[in-house]
Amino acid sequence: MHFKCSIFVLVSLFVISSCKSKSESKSETSLKTSKGNTVSFIEGYIVKPSVLKQSISVSGTIKPFEETVLMPDVSGRVVSINFQEGMPVKKGALLIQLFNDDLQAQLHKLQAQLDIADQTEKRESELIKVNGISKQDYDQAVLLVHSVKADIEVVQAQLRKTMVLAPFDGVIGLRNISLGAVVTPGTALTTIRQVNQLKLEFSFPGKYNTDIKKGSKLSFSVQGSDKKFNAIVLATEEGIELSTRNLEAKAIIISTDPILVPGMYANVELNLKENNKALMVPTQAIIPQERNKKLIVCKGGKANIIVVKTGVRQATSIEVQSGIEPGDTVVTTGILFIKPGSSLKFSKVN
């Protein structure tokens, strides 16, 4: 019985010794060893200048460069429709004619009166040379001529109001009226659009008002196509919208493609700034703090924890605006085990 107890004790001591040996071996190969305060098997990144293009994406809408809903200036009955839906028309073309026979009759009457008044004025101009009539009678004849001419101009203006003309070269949309319809100044007859030139309307955060201005180039995409289209900013509003804090802008589309149709939604990409000497580091290298952000930089094989100022964040990297210089090696893994002054041994440096 005593012999069995001795064997049990020896086996127990052996197991404890074996476990202790494995634990010490594991500790030696761990990320951090307390003897030399050295952190091993970490990865680093060498900071070097790179090109940073800062951009934002906003939504926009494609529109015709010009678009107008045509309405009559006066009430009347439609007697002529001189266009086909969906067809191009030239500026000044007569599109719709309203009834104006009564005005035409007034015009003919006034033109006849003008002929008589002109003849009377010519005769009296000869008589006044020989004192055949008084100056007052001659002035009355001249006044009558001018008065009739003014009446003719009034009627001609009223006649023009009975005609609906194309305000610019464009394409006519669907018509909303038929022959014989009685229309008023509020009746929408049809729509004309200038589709040979398109524009892009969008809004962007007001804080970028100095970056987006007339002449700025931008690109955009639309649903149903993988292409990138180009446009140039034509103008921006002078004031920021109070409710959204956005600034409205308009751009001319310089790309041509049948897929671009007025009313389409567009995803607009605005290029703000380009920095050819930006210092970018992997996002996992940044140590966020309550009041600032820090990086671990290896100098002389030792860990230095420094406060940095960051800028533009991208998918896998972030801009560091101050605190580091080109050529510095920053730690990207194992940062939780590193203390200031720790010796660093890198397994991989990019």
Domain extents in the chain: 33-53+276-349, 57-65+199-272, 100-161
DSSP letters spanning 186-236: T---EEEEEEEEEEEEEEEEGGGTTTS-TT-EEEEEETT----EEEEEEEE
**In angstroms, rounded to a whole number, what is the distance separating the alpha carbons of residues 318 and 311?**
7
Q: Which residue type sits at 314?
A: Q
Beta strands in the chain (DSSP E): 32-33, 38-46, 49-70, 76-81, 88-89, 94-98, 163-165, 170-172, 182-183, 190-205, 217-222, 229-236, 246-253, 265-282, 287-288, 293-299, 302-313, 317-322, 329-331, 343-349
The model's pTM is 0.62
Q: How many residues does the chain have?
A: 350
User: Would you state the pLDDT for residue 65?
Assistant: 92
pLDDT at 21: 42
pLDDT of residue 62: 95
User: Phi, psi (5° rounding) for residue 335?
Assistant: -70, -20
Map residue 103 onto helix, strand or coil. helix
Residue 176 token pair: 């909303």
Nearest to 175 by CA among 194, 193, 186, 190: 190
Structure tokens at 95: 């599109």
- Euclidean distance between CA atoms 225 and 324, whole angstroms: 43
Determine the straight-line distance between the first and last CA of the chain, rounded to whole angstroms: 66
Q: Look at the block and give the residue holding tokens 């149709």.
A: 261
- The dotted CATH code for 33-53+276-349 is 2.40.420.20
**Phi and psi (nearest 5°) for 167?**
-75, -15
pLDDT value for 30: 42
* C-alpha closest to that of 296 among 349, 336, 327: 336
CA dihedral 105, 106, 112, 116 (to 10 degrees): 160
Residue with tokens 């990320």: 31
Q: Residue ranges of the chain with pLDDT lower than 50?
A: 1-36
CA-based nearest residue to 326, from 46, 14, 42: 46
pLDDT at 39: 83
pLDDT of residue 255: 82
Q: Do domains 57-65+199-272 and 100-161 have the same CATH topology?
A: no
**Six-digit token string for 153:** 């101009």
What residue type is assigned to position 132 of the chain?
G
CB 72 within 8 A of CB 189: yes
Which token pair is 267?
A: 């995803």
156-196 pLDDT per residue, tens:
999 999 999 999 999 999 999 999 999 999 999 999 999 88
Q: What is the CATH number of domain 100-161?
A: 1.10.287.470
CATH fold of 57-65+199-272, please? Answer: Elongation Factor Tu (Ef-tu); domain 3 (2.40.30)
